């Protein structure tokens, strides 16, 4: 777990929060003593309605074209 001083948090708060947003937990120290922990918030799972709405915006899939593309990329002898 990374740690930053209160001074570093004050002077580079945006950079520290960017690290937290990327999933890194950060301990904040003052005079060498740990005083706080910054960690990413747990993300909630999308609802069924959200998943259905996302599905509506996906392009149509041509199974035959997909198979041709896969056959062109993969070695069938494996």
CATH number, domain 2-38: 3.40.1620.10
What pLDDT sits at residue 36?
A: 97
Q: What are phi and psi of 43, to 5 degrees?
A: -90, 140
Q: What is the pLDDT of residues 62-76, one digit of tens each?
A: 999 999 999 999 887
Q: Where are the domains of the chain?
A: 2-38
Q: For 2, how many CA atoms within 13 A lie in the half-sphere containing its CB? A: 15
- Going across the sheet that includes 33-38, the strands are 2-5, 26-30, 33-38
Positions of the chain with pLDDT lower than 70, given as ranges = 78
pLDDT at 1: 85
């Amino acid at each position: 777990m990374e740690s930053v001083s209160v001074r570093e948090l004050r002077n580079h708060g945006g950079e520290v929060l960017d690290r937290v947003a990327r999933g890194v937990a950060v301990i904040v120290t003052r005079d060498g003593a740990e005083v706080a922990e910054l960690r990413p918030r747990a993300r909630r799972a999308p609802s069924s309605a959200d998943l259905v709405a996302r599905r509506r915006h996906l392009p149509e899939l041509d199974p035959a074209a997909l198979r041709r593309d896969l056959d062109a990329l993969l070695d069938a002898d494996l």
